[in-house]
């Protein structure tokens, strides 16, 4: 492992501390009695407190110094006075340990008393301090000069890969995940107050059911059978309705072995709820009341900003049938049309279609391409064609449709709900039709029939409505994040490239490239401020390690990041 100069220095300090008899990683409980927030909110001059946290800044001024400690609630200023800490002749704790052997990122515990500085800042006067954990790697702390921030930790790949560092140095990131927890708590409270039960269903399943998606496959050695990571929990939750529960819900980790983009991660969280003796009309009302409640719990208001849009989650929401939506935005009426007629219409609209697509898939493509993006405010799209909804009950007034809705926000689906299909014979026929589509080449059709679920339906399932909500996407809207990676603690990443040891000059030039690439070679050289000799060595090192490349164009030589 190649260590940087700073990492080597910190390890030398670690050795020195141990030689001085100081354990840099003590096991003892440290008796913290205040957080930084409690210090500020319950402030009393002269009050004794015990706090702990990371050392985030230091201003050493001879015999006295100021520093900042960061804990889970924020930051607090602390004041070190040599003679307060070392009242006797031995000043080692201040002169050596504090001034020379502590680093930013170290965890320290502080016993002290509160006072207010001359400029009015609430501060802890240190009476004693204890090193609780030595940090061996420097935090990516931003630098500030003349009010301008430099070297902020903003590179998305580094932030997602090192979320632990991201949370320490970017306070707003932590706020996103606090809001995520508030969302879960608010939703649970809403369901629990309604009398519904939170349950757990299998993550490893013998058949990937409840949705159409490519699963992750594993093998159970003892049973000698293949198992599939859950793509949805729908069929298991409906089994519990068969078993006599009136309402069940689950926050489920689902896994789909498909593409990744700004709104899709292979591992994601969905909430699904099923309530007996209800239909999709009831569920629409329940959904809008739920989301209004959650928006207020998370942000204190029903309004949220997402990009350039201001969204209002206050109930009620508009309701538009899929047929009316397509007719409004394309002029084409799908009612009564054959598969060939719909395929021809899609082609005339410039939509890419092929022979593997059945009627439902074709309609879905038309809606996705021509209608979906137009719905910014929360809008229920209702009454989907039967071919699009193999688990949904036939519409009571039109046998070509189903009693289904999707909730659209800013052109994206965040909820999907049905009057659930509880006719076991109809369900079997729908499954068999899906199998035919899969054999035809439709990669979104169900490839396996869950015969145990059909057996459960044959015991009888009461009229039921079910709904699924994508939790990751919902919190994106509530926190104004355009990328799903921003609302996942640890999003899936490509394998990390092997670290390349770089000189300080190479790091500086690479930093310039990250914010400006591609950039003219002569301009980059001038911005680097390096001598000819150092510049030649630096650009050679970056290109040799395949961190940068030099391209010859008609406009001259340009440097770009690889």
pLDDT tens-digit map of 259-301: 899 889 999 999 999 999 999 999 999 999 999 999 999 999 9
List, in order, residues 6 or more apart from 154 with CB less than 8 Å away.
none
Number of neighbours of residue 340 by Cβ within 10 angstroms: 10
**Confidence tier at 443 by pLDDT (50, 70, 90):** low
Distance between alpha carbon 207 and the CA centroid of its chain, in Å?
Answer: 28
As a whole number of angstroms, the distance between CA 132 and CA 129 comes to 9
Output 1 or 97, whichever has higher pLDDT.
97
76 contact partners, CB below 8 Å, separation of at least 6: 36, 39, 40, 51, 53, 68, 69, 122, 123, 124
Rounded to whole angstroms, the Cα distance separating 54 from 169 reads: 11
Classify residue 294 as exposed, middle or buried by CB count within 10 Å of its CB (0-12, 13-18, 19+): buried
Contact by Cβ (8 Å): 333, 323: yes
**Average pLDDT, integer, range 543-547:** 88
| pLDDT at position 1 | 64
- pLDDT tens, residue by residue, 503-522: 989 989 988 888 888 999 99
Closest CA to 486 of 38, 121, 180: 180
Q: Can you read off the two tokens belonging to residue 416? A: 């999907």
Predicted confidence at residue 117, as pLDDT, reads 96
| Mean of pLDDT values over 320-327 | 97
Q: In this predicted model, what pLDDT tens digit does every residue of 36-61 receive, in sequence order? A: 999 999 999 999 999 999 999 999 98
For the segment 408-415, the average pLDDT, to the nearest whole number, is 96
Bridge partners (DSSP) of residue 271 are 251, 469
pLDDT, residue 444, reads 63
Q: Is the pLDDT of residue 499 over 90?
A: no
* Cα–Cα dist 128/409, whole Å: 54
Backbone angles phi, psi at 414, to 5 degrees: -120, -10
Render pLDDT for 531-541 as a digit per residue (tens, 0 to 9): 999 999 999 99
What values do phi and psi take at 231, rounded to 5? -100, -20
Using the structure block, give the residue that is written with the tokens 């301090």: 129
* Cα dihedral sign, 376-382-386-391: positive
CA pair distance 507, 542, nearest whole angstrom: 9
- Answer yes or no: are the C-beta atoms of 429 and 345 closer than 8 Å: no
pLDDT value of residue 360: 86
Mean pLDDT of the 64-72 span: 97
Omega before residue 235 within 30° of 0, cis: no
Residue written as tokens 């039967």? 386
- Residue 495, SS3 per DSSP: coil
pLDDT tier, 236 (very low <50, low <70, confident <90, very high otherwise):
very high
What span, in angstroms and rounded, lies between the C-alpha atoms of 520 and 230?
50
Q: What is the mean pLDDT of the chain?
A: 94
Q: What is the band of 312 on the pLDDT scale with cuts at 50, 70, 90?
A: very high
Distance CA 138, CA 165 (A): 10
**Rg over CA atoms, the chain:** 30
Segment (H or E) for 533: helix 532-544
Compute the distance between CA of residue 183 and CA of residue 478 in angstroms, rounded to an integer: 9
pLDDT exceeds 80 at position 150 = no
Backbone φ and ψ for 187, nearest 5 degrees, come out as: -65, -45
Residue 448 CB partners (closer than 8 Å, separation 6+): 207, 208, 209
The tokens describing 513, both together, are: 């490239």
* 104: helix, strand or coil: coil
Q: Is the bond preceding 126 in cis, omega lying within 30 degrees of 0?
A: no
Short-list 376, 386, 370, CA closest to 328: 370
Lowest mean pLDDT among 323-337, 476-490, 502-516: 502-516
Q: How many CB atoms lie within 10 A of CB 96?
A: 14
């Amino acid at each position: 492992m190649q260590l940087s100069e700073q990492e080597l220095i910190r390890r030398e300090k670690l050795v020195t501390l141990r030689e001085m008899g100081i354990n840099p990683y003590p096991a003892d409980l440290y008796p913290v009695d205040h957080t930084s927030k409690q210090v500020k909110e319950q402030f009393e001059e002269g009050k004794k407190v015990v706090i702990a946290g990371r050392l985030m800044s230091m201003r050493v001024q001879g015999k006295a110094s100021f520093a900042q400690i960061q804990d889970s609630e924020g930051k607090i200023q602390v004041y070190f006075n040599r003679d307060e800490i070392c009242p006797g002749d031995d000043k080692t704790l201040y002169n050596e340990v504090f001034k020379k052997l502590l680093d930013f990122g170290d965890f320290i515990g502080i016993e002290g008393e509160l006072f207010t500085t001359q400029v009015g800042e609430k501060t802890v006067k240190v009476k004693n301090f204890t090193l609780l954990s030595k940090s061996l790697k420097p935090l990516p702390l931003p630098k500030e000069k003349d009010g301008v921030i430099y070297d902020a930790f903003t590179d998305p790949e580094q932030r997602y890969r090192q979320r632990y560092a991201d949370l320490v140095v970017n306070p707003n990131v932590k706020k996103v995940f606090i809001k995520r927890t508030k969302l879960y708590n608010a939703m649970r409270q809403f369901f629990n107050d309604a009398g519904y039960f939170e349950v757990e269903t299998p993550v490893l399943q013998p058949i990937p059911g409840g949705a159409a998606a490519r699963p992750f496959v594993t093998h159970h050695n003892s049973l000698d059978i293949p198992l599939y990571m859950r793509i949805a929990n729908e069929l298991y939750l409906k089994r519990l309705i068969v078993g006599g529960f009136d309402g069940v819900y689950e926050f489920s980790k689902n896994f789909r072995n498909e593409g990744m983009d700004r709104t899709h991660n292979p591992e994601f969280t969905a909430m699904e709820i099923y309530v007996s003796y209800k239909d999709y009309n009831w569920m629409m009302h329940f959904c809008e009341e739920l989301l209004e409640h959650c928006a207020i719990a998370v942000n204190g208001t029903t309004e949220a900003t997402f990009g350039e849009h201001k969204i209002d989650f206050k109930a009620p929401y508009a309701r538009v049938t899929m047929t009316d939506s397509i007719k409004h935005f394309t002029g084409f009426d799908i009612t009564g049309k054959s598969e060939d007629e719909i395929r021809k219409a899609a082609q005339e609209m410039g939509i890419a279609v092929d022979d593997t697509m059945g009627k439902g898939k074709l309609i879905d493509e038309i809606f996705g391409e021509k209608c979906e993006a137009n719905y910014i405010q929360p809008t229920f799209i209702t009454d989907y064609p039967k071919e699009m909804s193999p688990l949904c009950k036939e519409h009571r007034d039109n046998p070509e449709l189903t009693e289904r809705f999707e909730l659209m926000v800013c052109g994206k689906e965040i909820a999907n709900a049905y009057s659930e299909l509880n006719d076991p014979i109809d369900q079997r026929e729908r499954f068999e039709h899906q199998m035919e589509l899969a054999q035809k080449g439709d990669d979104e059709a169900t490839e396996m029939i869950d015969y145990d679920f059909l057996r459960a339906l044959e015991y009888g399932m009461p009229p039921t409505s079910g709904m699924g909500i994508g939790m990751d996407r919902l919190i994106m809207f509530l926190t104004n994040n355009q990328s799903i990676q921003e609302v996942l603690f640890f999003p899936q990443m490509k394998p990390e490239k092997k670290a390349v040891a770089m000189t300080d000059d190479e790091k500086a030039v690479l930093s310039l490239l990250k914010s400006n690439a591609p950039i003219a070679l002569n301009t980059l050289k001038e911005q680097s401020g390096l001598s000819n000799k150092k510049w030649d060595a630096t650009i050679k090192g970056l290109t040799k390690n395949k961190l940068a490349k030099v391209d010859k164009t008609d406009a001259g030589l340009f440097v770009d990041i690889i």
